[in-house]
Chain A
């Protein structure tokens, strides 16, 4: 049985301008120890998907329908109190910007210890301290013991992200959701952090959902990939299949955008146009206006096709 199974999840935002279907009927699953990458451009609903897993959708948003089966239990049906026991304990989340995701007026040690003590009421302060120092060593923060007394502003961005990752791993979560964990970091640090996350997730045996707009990152780390476009998954399957043989025109476009070393084109490829506003989606396939293969057939949203265990929504893939 899969660790997490999402079935036909709908997370909608009821705004004054109309209903925004930020997550519109997506399904995916993740096995124990597996790494799933969710790729897509800004506003495709990747982050909202991540937040939905934890029930962290604020008004005017709401999970309208669907199931999130974690460990055999449906998280959508759980009460806030039950979710609080799961958050940070069994499912943890790493946020995009390490600069702001630590509390600026509390030192690192206290923040880490608080997170330990919060889920283990019986643990002593000393235990919490030791656990926190150990985890800081594990994520490779130099002089961990000394850093316990540091405030976030005294650390660099990369160090902060290590602390944030440490905090997420404190209670040995079974599922870790990383929302663009490296976007705010420079490229050399990015590689370190990504490698660290991969190593930790295999050491801890926890599953990882990596949310990113960077398909290069996904191609290095993940076992499975879900490509999202305008709130829906357009292609979903094993990494090798999708990276080496993309079928959906959008996935093809994303991969074509990557710079290649053996190519001296002056300009990189770019997908023409922009993603439609979620408030005024076109009839039929959402990608048709930007798709070079689109024709009259595409005026109806494509049905799910399963080809060799991979799921694709496109009329042009046969």
Chain B
């Protein structure tokens, strides 16, 4: 395929990456407008009938139903929406916070750098899930809260990457000559250096979206994530897990497969974008 943008053209040279993008786009469309594709609104209790509970996959309920007669296919659509929303929102927030702190840290150095980077180091020395667990245990469940918890876990990665790039960029002549042109430090950081550091941040952000979604799913699986009234893929899996060994495997397995497919598609996109944005990796 040929596009005006060279990077896009290059992206499409890799078949697997195209598959990843197509799968992700389909899932994203489901997530954006689940009502268009689903048989019922799984969270409107007036649409659920208990006599339909635990039906195996059939013509009416393609992926079966759960204990409340909820259509699993519809529930997955709505669950995808929550998972992707949490993934993207927390990633955007952590990029904004981490990128800014990393730029400032790398540019100014000294005690500002020491404080920001030591906080990052301390945080990295704990497992991400533990930090998120503590935050969720303190605050309780809720979509807004889980977004903040994941942001707190993830900003570190952007901050460290940005800092590393800034350390080398700020010594380059263009940053010096911007200074000689009378630019303030603020303008130099955000107008001159920032555009030169975005490529690695975009790449990491793509990969970390997947990590954020998994973290959310894990927390929801443990019952600390999103509230039960608005289940994500993780809480659907948890919900089905309780009856998994009673023979109702579809309640847990299908959301699990969709989560897996989602993560793989994002990772394929992430890998490819890393390849095309880092010319040094090219052969």
Which B171-207 residues sit within 8 Å CB-CB of chain A?
A: 172-174, 176-184, 187, 191-192, 195-196
Task: Mark out the residues of chain A between 52 and 104 whose CB falls within 8 Å of any chain B CB in the assembled complex.
Answer: 54, 56, 83-89, 92-93, 95-97, 100-104
> For chain A residues 92-121, which have a beta carbon within 8 Å of chain B?
92-93, 95-97, 100-106, 114-115, 118-119
Q: Which residues of chain A are near B174, meaning CB under 8 Å?
A: 100-104
Instruction: Assess whether A87 is in contact with B182, with CB atoms less than 8 Å apart.
Output: yes
B32-69 interface code vs A (CB 8 A; 1 in, 0 out) = 00000000000000000000000000000000000000
Q: Please tell me if A164 contacts chain B, counting CB pairs below 8 Å.
A: yes
> Cα distance A95–B178 when bound, in Å?
11
* Nearest CB on B from A236, distance (A): 25
Q: Pull 24 A–B residue pairs with CB atoms less than 8 Å apart, ordered by A.
A: A56-B176, A56-B180, A83-B182, A84-B182, A84-B184, A88-B180, A88-B181, A89-B182, A92-B180, A95-B177, A96-B173, A97-B173, A100-B174, A101-B173, A101-B177, A102-B174, A103-B192, A104-B196, A114-B191, A118-B182, A118-B183, A118-B187, A164-B177, A167-B181
B interface, by DSSP: helix, strand, loop or mixed? helix
Q: B184 to chain A: which residues have CB within 8 Å? A: 84
Listed in ascending order, the chain A residues whose CB lies under 8 Å from chain B are 54, 56, 83-89, 92-93, 95-97, 100-106, 114-115, 118-119, 164, 167
Q: Which of A86, A97, A100, A106 contacts B182 (CB 8 A)?
A: A86
* Bound form: Cα–Cα A88–B178 in Å: 9
20 other contacts beyond A56-B180, A87-B181, A101-B174, with CB at 8 A cut-off?
Answer: A56-B176, A84-B184, A85-B182, A86-B182, A87-B180, A88-B183, A92-B180, A95-B177, A97-B173, A100-B173, A101-B177, A103-B174, A103-B192, A103-B195, A104-B174, A118-B181, A118-B183, A119-B182, A167-B177, A167-B181
| The one of B173, B187, B191, B195 that contacts A95, using a Cβ cutoff of 8 Å | B173
Interface residues of B (CB under 8 A from A): 172-174, 176-184, 187, 191-192, 195-196
Cross-chain contact A101 with B196 (CB below 8 angstroms): no
CA distance A110 to B170 in the complex (A): 20
Closest to A110 in B: B191
Residues on B with beta carbons closer than 8 Å to the beta carbon of A103: 174, 178, 192, 195-196
- Residues on B with C-beta less than 8 A from A102 are 174, 177
Separation in Å of the A90 CB from the closest CB of chain B? Answer: 9
Measured CB to CB, the closest approach of chain B to A294, in angstroms, equals 38
Q: Which residues of B contact A86 (CB under 8 A)?
A: 182
Q: What are the 10 tightest A-B residue pairs by CB atom distance, in nearest-first order?
A: A88-B181, A87-B182, A88-B182, A101-B173, A93-B180, A100-B173, A103-B174, A105-B195, A101-B177, A84-B182
CB atoms of B172 and A100 under 8 A apart: yes
Take A100-B173, A102-B174 as given contacts and tell me if A95 and B192 are in contact as well, using a CB distance cutoff of 8 Å.
no
- A96 / chain B contacts, CB cutoff of 8 Å: 173
Query: What is the CB-to-nearest-CB distance from A53 to chain B, in angstroms, rounded to a whole number?
Result: 10
Nearest-CB residue, chain A, relative to B184: A84
